[in-house]
Structure 1
Amino acid sequence: MRIILVTGPGGSGRTTVAAATALAAARAGRRVLLVSAEADAVLGEGADGVPGPALLRPDPAADFRREFLALQSRSAAALDLLGAVPFEDAELTELPGSTQFALLRALRTAAAGDHDLVVADLPPLPEAVALLALPEQLRRYLRRILPPERQAARALRPMLAQLAGVPMPAQWLYGTAARWEAELAAVQAVVDAPSTSVRVVAEPGPAADDALRTARLGLALHGRTVDRVVANRLLPADSPDPWLAGLAAQQRTHLESLRAAYGSVHEVPHLGRAPRGPEDLALLAPGEGTDAPDPGLVPAPRAAIEDPAEPGGVFTWRLPVPGAAKRDISLVRRGDELLLGVGPFRRVLPLAPVLRRCTVSGAALVDGFLRIRFTPDPGLWPKDAVPSERTP
């Protein structure tokens, strides 16, 4: 199954392009699912006898109520001891963040289906970057707060509570954490799968240039692959109207900036009206084979560990940070983790086993890569040992 995650700056037309991509693939005979809360207005009424995509609408309110009531039911005994009054379905209103969780669950549901292609309409940048990073971040928090290995001591918990003089975490809490871990792992597997990629939609202009530069850093930091860049709402270059011709020339200037950054950009024309219905969407489909990566796109750079040229030499961890400046980057080692900040984005990266026995001896920004140098710590390597582990 192929999954395309469509995003772009706010107002760039990402929902329209997502719907056009899904419709074109469905008309080509593929089984397509469009995940979107806003595509109804764009799709309009389908033409008779013409295949179209199935539509999955995330429902944050219903999703929040269902999950909250399930948690309340599982923890009923603990809540009774505290004298808490349980909530009823009718009085629950969704909290901030519910939309993101509902969309992630919709992606997991979509991936479990039997479709050939799933097209997901994501929030604007950089919210989409944060959304795609959420499963990994929450799993790290869960492991720190409720380490799975402590569950092995559940039989000793009553005795430990007496010795420590404080109550130990209840079994239902560990059970809930295990369920959340399983759900988050399933979502992360969908997002990280090689068959999942990001499609970026932008209306060429100065605001788009800034937004895409920032978003590109975030996508690279979290290892996301951009499979196609779509320049939306392009004005005709040969308009006799001087005002429109000036706007078109400005768009073309920024279009060249996109090409310089990404290597290939698909152009989608401005229809002169708000697109609505299958026929309009057919005019906006981003090229042949819309479910395949653009062959002209510059491949996404990958992180890699370079072995030292000589025994006992320096390891180099190369991390892609395309377009970053030195002032954008912050780097801190904390135990067996590396806290990396790039612009407004942060990611905690676990060190490979070979790097845990090294000290950070420097870093440099070279050709779009952050090259972090690690020197073997003599106190952690056996005498006369030659470092030979490597982790892709």
Structure 2
Amino acid sequence: MRTLLITGPGGSGRTTLAAATALAAAAGGTDTLVLSADPTDTLGAALGVPTGPAPVEAAPHLTAWRPDPAQDFRRDLTALQERASSALDLLGASRLDPEELTPLPGAEELALLRALRDAALSEKHGLLVVDLPPAPQALALLALPEELRRCLRRLLPPERQAARALRPVLGRLAGVPMPAEWLYETAARWDLELAAVEAVVADRDTVVRLVAEPGPAGADAVRTAGLGLALRGLRTDLVVANRVLPEASPDTWLAGPVAQQRKTLEEWRESYDVRTVAHLGRDPRGTDDLTALAVPGP
């Protein structure tokens, strides 16, 4: 399965173009899944179909999915409480009710990574289009699996896990409690899950597509994002210049913005394969508007 990661500066229209790209692929007969973690459901607004924690059919051959970080967080913390039940009982700690839990910072990113892994492993679709957060957050998100695995290896080094069978004896000799078996099992499970996400991101069929408006701010954002992606070894297949104004407009007040966008497009074309998407004069809503954008194919 091919994976297309779409990001760009905030407000550049990346979610709308992710929806339009997925719709174009589905119209060509490719079974496509578009994935987004935007809590405001911008993806659903663009497609004209509400999206949520359960995948929904947005069009023929097109499935949209917006995972719920709160749901995943509650499930994981409830499972952790069950695994640590004996320790909690020993301490006299009260159990937390799942309904009173709210996601901690970072839960949204972890939910998106888990959904990315699950979608890639399911092999139900020929194309996965992922609407990533704005570029700075997207770069941090893509680096998260590697960083978390590094932390796990520091906390529970694999070479020391050979002592698991001797844990009771070592505990008596050292006079201090040794890590419980569930802790080793949880660390190993997390390591496997994070490795699966890393494999998806590093796969040769995974590419990044940058979306930005051609102008000074967009030029700075693409320059920074491109450098960050290159440092992580991620390939940028296209830069999509969004909301491009018509060159031959009779309105004289557009002369300045058009000159700025022309200069930016020339700069981008020196380093990237650049495609343009015209400004519709309104916010695209529904499949008809997404089709009218005529986005480049995946």
Contact 2:29 2:61 in 1 (8 A): no
State whether structure 2 residue 269 is matched by structure 1 residue 259.
yes
Normalization by structure 2: what TM-score?
A: 0.92
Report the Cα distance in structure 2 between the residues aligned to 1:148 and 1:278, rounded to whole angstroms.
50
Report the Cα distance in structure 2 between the residues aligned to 1:153 and 1:58, rounded to whole angstroms.
38
User: SS of the counterpart of 1:87?
Assistant: coil
From the two aligned structures, give the one with the greater helix fraction. 2
State whether structure 2 residue 94 is matched by structure 1 residue 85.
yes
User: SS of the counterpart of 1:93?
Assistant: coil
Cross-structure match for 1:205: 215
Report the Cα distance in structure 2 between the residues aligned to 1:222 and 1:82, rounded to whole angstroms.
44
Give per-residue Cα distances to partners, 1:131-166, cap 9 Å, x unaligned. Answer: 111111110110111112222111222222233232
Shift of residue 56 of structure 1? 1.0
Contact 1:64 1:98 in 2 (8 A): yes
Out of 228, 237, 256, which is 1:227 matched to?
A: 237
Cα RMSD of the aligned pairs, angstroms, is 1.6
Cross-structure match for 1:62: 71
State whether structure 2 residue 291 is matched by structure 1 residue 282.
yes
Report the Cα distance in structure 1 between the residues aligned to 2:173 and 2:243, rounded to whole angstroms.
69
Report the Cα distance in structure 2 between the residues aligned to 1:220 and 1:78, rounded to whole angstroms.
45
Unaligned 5+ segments in structure 1 are: 292-392
Cross-structure match for 1:44: 48
Contact 1:17 1:285 in 2 (8 A): no
User: SS of the counterpart of 2:270?
Assistant: helix
Cross-structure match for 1:15: 15
Contact 1:238 1:245 in 2 (8 A): no
Letter of the 2:199 partner, please give it. A
Report the Cα distance in structure 2 between the residues aligned to 1:115 and 1:43, rounded to whole angstroms.
19
In the alignment of these two chains, the number of paired residues is 286
Cross-structure match for 1:388: none
Cross-structure match for 1:178: 188
Give per-residue Cα distances to partners, 1:64-90, cap 9 Å, x unaligned. Answer: 111111111111112222221111111
Cross-structure match for 2:55: none
Larger radius of gyration: 1
Cross-structure match for 2:198: 188
Report the Cα distance in structure 2 between the residues aligned to 1:143 and 1:224, rounded to whole angstroms.
24
State whether structure 2 residue 121 is matched by structure 1 residue 112.
yes
Shift of residue 45 of structure 1? 5.5
From the two aligned structures, give the one with the greater strand fraction. 1
1:307-322 aligned at under 5 Å gives the runs: none
Unaligned 5+ segments in structure 2 are: 51-57
Report the Cα distance in structure 2 between the residues aligned to 1:120 and 1:285, rounded to whole angstroms.
19
Between 1 and 2, higher relative CO (CA 8 Å, sep ≥ 6) is seen in: 2
**CA 1:41 to 1:50, structure 2 compared with 1: closer, same or farther past 3 Å?**
closer
User: SS of the counterpart of 1:166?
Assistant: coil
Report the Cα distance in structure 2 between the residues aligned to 1:164 and 1:109, rounded to whole angstroms.
42
Cross-structure match for 2:24: 24
Letter of the 1:256 partner, please give it. E
User: SS of the counterpart of 1:69?
Assistant: helix
Normalization by structure 1: what TM-score?
A: 0.70
Report the Cα distance in structure 1 between the residues aligned to 2:236 and 2:102, rounded to whole angstroms.
36
Contact 1:45 1:278 in 2 (8 A): no
Give per-residue Cα distances to partners, 1:3-50, cap 9 Å, x unaligned. Answer: 10110000000001100100001011110111124311001169xx96
User: SS of the counterpart of 1:228?
Assistant: strand
Cross-structure match for 1:239: 249
Out of 142, 150, 156, which is 1:132 matched to?
A: 142
Report the Cα distance in structure 1 between the residues aligned to 2:201 and 2:92, rounded to whole angstroms.
41
